[in-house]
Amino acid sequence: MSEEPIDNLENRDEPQESITRVTGMFKDWFLDYASYVILERAVPAIEDGFKPVQRRIMHSMKDLDDGRYNKVANIVGHTMQYHPHGDASIADAMVQIGQKDLLIDTQGNWGNILTGDSAAASRYIEARISKFGLDVVYNPKITQWQASYDGRRKEPVYLPVMFPLLLAQGGEGIAVGLSTKILPHNFIELIDASIKHLQGKRFTIFPDFPTAGIADVSGYNDGLRGGKVRVRAKISQLDKNTLVITEIPFGTNTSSLIDSILKANDKGKIKIKKIEDNTAADVEILVHLPGGISPEKTIDALYAFTNCESSISPLGCVIEDNKPLFVGVTEMLRRSTEHTVELLKSELEIKLGEYEEQWHFASLERIFIENRVYRDIEEEETWEGVIDAIDRGLQPHIKHLKRAVTVDDITRLTEIRIKRISKFDIDKAQQKIDALEDQIAEVKYHLANLIEYAIAYFQRLKKEYGTGRERKTEIRIFEDVDAAKVIIRNTKLYVNRAEGFIGTSLKRDEYVCDCSDIDDIIVFTNEGKMMVTKVDSKTFIGKDIIHVAVFKKKDKRTIYNMVYRDGTKGATYVKRFAVTSMTRDREYDLTNGAKGSKLWYFSANPNGEAEVITIFLRQVGSIKKLKWDLDFAEVLIKGRTSKGNRVTKHAIKKIELKEKGVSTLKPRKIWFDDTVQRLNVDERGELIGEFRGEDRLLIIKQSGTVKTILPEITAHFDDDIIVLEKWVPKKPISVVYYNGERALYYVKRFLIENEGREESFITEHPNSQVEIVSTDWKPMAEIEFKKERGKERKDNEKINLEEFIAVKGLSAIGNQLTKEKVNQVNLLDSLPYDAPEDLPAEEIEVVDETVEPTEGNAASQDSTSEVKKTDDDDDDLNGEGQTTLF
């Protein structure tokens, strides 16, 4: 094919086509699409807090508003004149606004945010603008308008919202390349924060969710990227086998919550019997537990493994000047408040102009009629002449007017009817002018004191609309739930000691214990080796396993007692140690490391028990003593890397257990942190006391119940506790209570009869209630009597409760306090009493717990391993009066 000359190509008359690359087209189209999604669909504007579809819905509702309910389908159809999308998206957006119960009064089935039930079809439900919405959202005089998408109508650029609506409702959207998640906040707290900002004070706002629940906002980060809010359901114990969920976390509903609980149960992480969902207007989910399952532990497990606890990541992104803006909730509130002030100023300025215009024409009308200027036009034949005649007639009387008289003013004067002129009342006209002057002065005052006016505006909103909008979500600091401590032991662990295997699939071998699939297992072998590994179906550890157990991290109270031979012919050593940390699947040597080392004796003691063992030596040479006892209580607890103390340099024949030991650890101090309502050993909150093995905690509630429990760190406590202390079994509890059946006050003193059982110590009548409780030995109370009509008030009477009544059974009604009418009973300072002292810590075998040493300081541990020394450092502990341990 021959090429065409270039000249012919240049001289052609046809238009030349330009070439556009596909990559360029894609870039332009993608940016256009992304911009449209961000600006017109997903992200709300900071000016009014609305996305375009929400703004158009509210504008359409105002178009249709006549005070009565409109079908939602009708509102959706009307909105489609402004919003270029389908009816389904508009209806969904309207239901979301209606469920927030702020701008729209709803009628019909609008769904349920608690259960997740969807709303009825839009043709079945109705809506109208709420009184609050009419008050704060609309003012056409200060609204900027723009043409709708088809140019047929006008729609607002932004609605003049005079309230931090975006923060009150919250907002969520996913756009191209960015998203937004603004959490809802409390109505009253937002108003208070706006007032504080106007007063120049600092403020802090936190989310408040319509589903209530509990929230930990310590990581909120002002709602910016990287922040986190942890939300929990409110769970309480109904009885020993039933939990009740009364509030749910934001972002869930009862259906998804129950599904997550059932899923966790199926996986064996929790154990439940059945679930009942009684939710209607309020949430009520009953979780029934099988017998023998701890309710407190199950509550923690629900938080750890189900949707009863979830984490929300806020992201403050809004549109400002057609651009995305990432901003915190504090700045959002500041901008909203200042925007409200500007809108209030514009509203006042428009109102001032209207009042001044009314005053101007009222004054002009009075001059026109009072001075009979209208008579000057009788001789005029043209319109221009009429205008000039009126203008000339007004001139002598208009010096006090605030602006010049225009042709439009004169034209309005010519439109006054003769009937109005004939019935004109000068006094009434002056009263109207005076009233307008008062209104003008008031508006000018508000403009001059705009901040005070804005504060009064917010205070009015709070007074008129704040009732019933108190905070729903309780703010509390959460303690992290250790999943390993609360998971149900859903599988069984087995061991083959000889071959050195452990696992959950070795069902033909020796059963060790129940465990969970997230547990770590600690294993010791006869060679003095130790390993911690994740539970699995089958894991090889090493031959001759002597001990297997579930490993508890940072456990300082489990003490291992060990006697080992150093090498094949070396000396024998004794050591006591705890294992608080390690590297998983790493083998640790607990001996001195010599080849051929062997364990003579090993025991694991969950509470630091120290037993007594008997050591038998072989008959070799001239050894005088072949048998003696060794008490582990005389051996200090050191790190697992320490060499230990030398027992003997001679060959051992065998070691036998002589007697079991008692704990050598100090009593454990326990604190109660009122902020999180939990016990701890980390010195947070109020010290409850020092607890030994079987010591219990006394709990007395305002509802009139008492029980004792073991002080487990996982225990949960209700808010109505009035006594929480270490239980002294022989110390009586003194109570003054109101007997609802007899309408009299009674006194009783009793001892706890059933450990671990919750029992009521007042009558079951609904009006019965606890007045005072004391756990002192000699409590004193004061009766304050009511004043009877016509008589002087009887003097207060002091009562020694110990002398008033003897200690009786818990179920006894007690003795009547007085026959007189009582105003109240007060608890006074108790009388002095020397209580029987507990056995001091020094008199029970106590040895300090030590921190696990690191690999690097093992040598220093060895160098200080001596408990007692005699003059002869080479002697063994041989039963001949020498008590030397190396």
Any idea which residues carry the catalytic annotation? 124
As given in the structure block, the two tokens for residue 788 are: 């009877």
**How far apart are alpha carbons 683 and 736 in whole angstroms?**
33
| Side chain identity, residue 579 | V
Residues 184 and 207: beta-carbon distance below 8 Å: yes
* Residue 173 DSSP SS3: strand
Instruction: Pick the closest to residue 142 from 349, 330, 385, 362 (CA basis).
Output: 349
**How far apart are alpha carbons 487 and 184 in whole angstroms?**
33
For residue 535, count other CB atoms closer than 10 A to its CB: 19
DSSP one-letter string for 45-102: BTTTS--HHHHHHHHHHHHH-SSS-EEHHHHHHHHTTT--S-HHHHHHHHHHHHHTTS
Q: Using the 8-state DSSP alphabet, how is residue 438 labeled?
A: H
For residue 295, count other CB atoms closer than 10 A to its CB: 19
As given in the structure block, the two tokens for residue 199 are: 């007063």
**How far apart are alpha carbons 774 and 735 in whole angstroms?**
6
Q: How far does Cα 354 stand from its chain's mean position?
A: 50
Residues 62 and 79: beta-carbon distance below 8 Å: no
As given in the structure block, the two tokens for residue 43 are: 């992200």
- The number of residues making up the chain comes to 886
Strand 705-709 to 759-760 pairing: antiparallel
Strand partners, 523: 531, 548
| Side chain identity, residue 757 | R
Residues 222 and 303: beta-carbon distance below 8 Å: no
Q: Tell me the helix, strand and coil percentages in the chain, rounded to 5.
A: 30, 25, 45
**How far apart are alpha carbons 801 and 747 in whole angstroms?**
8
DSSP one-letter string for 195-219: HHHHTT------B--TT--EEE-TT
**How far apart are alpha carbons 170 and 153 in whole angstroms?**
29
**Rounded to 5 degrees, what angle do the CA atoms 431, 434, 439 make?**
125
**How far apart are alpha carbons 166 and 785 in whole angstroms?**
55
Residues 6+ apart with CB under 8 A from 264: 270, 301, 302, 305, 306
Instruction: Pick the closest to residue 70 from 119, 25, 18, 123 (CA basis).
Output: 123
Strand partners, 680: 671
Beta sheet of 705-709, edge-to-edge order: 721-726, 697-701, 705-709, 759-760
**How far apart are alpha carbons 815 and 481 in whole angstroms?**
46
For residue 565, count other CB atoms closer than 10 A to its CB: 23
Instruction: Pick the closest to residue 597 from 587, 589, 585, 588 (CA basis).
Output: 589
**Rounded to 5 degrees, what angle do the CA atoms 865, 870, 875 make?**
80
For residue 303, count other CB atoms closer than 10 A to its CB: 23
Strand partners, 503: 494
**How far apart are alpha carbons 126 and 98 in whole angstroms?**
10
- 295-305 vs 254-266: helix crossing angle, rounded to 10: 110
Q: Is 9 exposed, middle or buried (0-12, 13-18, 19+ CB in 10 A)?
A: exposed
